[in-house]
Structure 1
Amino acid sequence: MQGARANRRRGEVEAVIDGERRILCLTLGALAELETAFSVGDLNGLAERFSSGRLKAADMIRLIGAGLRGGGNLFSDDEVAAMSVDDGVVGYARIVGDLLAATFAGPGRDAAANP
């Protein structure tokens, strides 16, 4: 994604993963993938699951993987699991939080108020 910039209005976020700046986006296809992975019936089910604030490491891998694929980066969840980010688990949590906020809250809105 050399030269590309994240567009928050489209729900995109930018993150440095494995030393490379990448664009992540939970597109409609990525959200459908997550509905299946988390066995929820709809987007409200996804929002409820994520708003609990209790995510497993496997959940973060799925979210980041779906976001990467939605942003045009073709990585499997196994490849995502082997990637690294600055600040370790805190860095992963930051990426997931940014991605969920961009998807469910939209630009300029608080994700906690509107999951």
Structure 2
Amino acid sequence: MANPYRGEVCLTVDGVDCAMRLSLGALAQLEVRLGAEGLLPLIERFETGQFKADDLIALLWAGLSAAGWAGSEADLSKAEIAGGPMVAARCAAQLLRLTFTLPESGDD
């Protein structure tokens, strides 16, 4: 079960509920992987909907791997995400939000 107070979000990958969270190391790797000029441009890319599918996979993989998921980005790109791309994007947005804020009461 994901703990939103730790910045965790649950994503169901190939039928398995997996926690995601973004550590500082995961964020640093994500910046490099996506060619972002810092965290703010990276967050803005997702907030404004200017992200690509590859960006989404990279963000989800960073969150999964920081929480202990053993698969690769290639594994994730072939995996079935419960709810499809819309749920994946929603989970990615929630992951970014919880990484930098506390969850709202009654949320999650």
**Range class of TM-score, shorter chain:** 0.7 to 0.9
Partner amino acid, structure 2, of 1:67:
G
Q: Is the 8 A contact 2:46 2:93 kept in 1?
A: no
Return the structure number with greater helix share. Answer: 2
Q: What's the C-alpha RMSD, in Å, of the aligned pairs?
A: 1.6
Partner amino acid, structure 2, of 1:96:
A
Q: TM-score with structure 1 length normalisation?
A: 0.81
Q: TM-score with structure 2 length normalisation?
A: 0.86
- 2:38 aligned with 1:16: no
SS of residue in 2 equivalent to 1:21: strand
Q: Could you tell me which runs of 5 or more consecutive residues in structure 2 were left unpaired when the two chains were aligned.
A: none
Q: Matches of 1:10 and 1:76 in 2, distance apart?
A: 23
Q: Is the 8 A contact 1:30 1:67 kept in 2?
A: yes
Q: Could you tell me which runs of 5 or more consecutive residues in structure 1 were left unpaired when the two chains were aligned.
A: 110-115
Which residue of 2 is the match for residue 60 of structure 1?
56
Higher relative contact order (CA 8 A, sep 6+): 2
Query: Aligned residues: percent identity?
Result: 38
Partner amino acid, structure 2, of 1:70:
A
**What number of residue pairs does the alignment pair up?**
105
